[in-house]
């Protein structure tokens, strides 16, 4: 009888664990950096970023299950530290930010590649097209925020990836080598658990 009761308790516990929901995380816009590197004439790479981004995802710290990733970038906020170049990047030659304001990355699931690393395969939507994009993600740290005045539970993440801008029809300067075709992405953020 005791063995039967123990088995029932174990089955109930397993069932509860199986139905546990991952926590939802909202990326803190004050600690969200989306940057990029693109080759210029073969001399050096231009480093730029977007000033406004938002995002969310679901994560189960116990199982490492990462899902429902959504990152949204305001293409109009492109910033390379040079106004004329930034206006050109926002123009139809590149991001066409007047017509396509948002750059969106989404992924339904992720694969765990190490104890604190993940491979996130998703879709990047930009200038009216969608293409596959893989991000290599590192889970840096999770815990109660150490700064005074908050009791938020925070997760820190670094992610890297790259894509060909020509896949989105963004070909200005690619054929003659003025502007590199490969865009290297740099993503750093802190997210608060809801």
User: Per-residue pLDDT tens for 60-115?
Assistant: 999 999 999 999 999 999 999 999 999 999 999 999 999 999 999 999 999 999 99
Q: Give how far Cα 175 sits from Cα of 131, 144, 182, 192, Å.
A: 21, 50, 12, 43
User: Per-residue pLDDT tens for 40-56?
Assistant: 999 999 999 999 999 99
pTM for the predicted model, two decimal places: 0.87
CATH 1.10.357.10 fits 22-193, yes or no: no
Q: How far is CA 15 from the centre of its chain?
A: 32
| DSSP secondary structure, 73-96, as one string | EEGGGEE-S-HHHHHHHHSTTTT-
Q: Give burial (CB, 10 Å; 0-12/13-18/19+) of 147.
A: exposed
Residue identified by tokens 């710290």 is: 61
Better pLDDT: 16 or 159 = 159
How many CB atoms are located within 10 Å of the residue 126 CB? 24
Boundaries of every domain in the chain: 22-193
Q: How far is CA 170 from the centre of its chain?
A: 21
């Amino acid at each position: 009888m005791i063995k039967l009761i123990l088995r029932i308790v174990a089955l109930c516990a397993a069932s509860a664990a199986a139905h546990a929901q991952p926590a939802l995380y909202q990326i803190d816009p004050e600690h969200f950096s989306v940057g990029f590197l693109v080759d210029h004439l073969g001399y050096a790479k231009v480093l730029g970023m977007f000033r406004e981004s938002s995002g969310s995802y679901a994560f189960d710290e116990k199982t490492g299950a990462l899902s429902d990733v959504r990152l949204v970038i305001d293409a109009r906020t492109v910033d390379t530290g040079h106004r004329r170049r930034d206006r050109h990047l926002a123009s139809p030659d590149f991001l066409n930010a007047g017509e396509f304001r948002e750059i969106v990355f989404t992924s339904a699931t992720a694969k765990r590649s190490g104890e604190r690393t993940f491979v996130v395969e998703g879709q990047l939507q930009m200038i009216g097209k969608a293409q596959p994009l893989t991000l290599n993600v590192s889970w840096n740290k999770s815990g109660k925020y150490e700064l005074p005045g908050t009791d938020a539970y925070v997760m820190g993440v670094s992610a890297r990836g790259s894509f060909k801008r020509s896949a989105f029809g963004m070909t200005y300067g690619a054929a003659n080598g003025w502007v590199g075709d490969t865009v290297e992405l740099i993503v750093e953020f802190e997210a608060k658990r809801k």
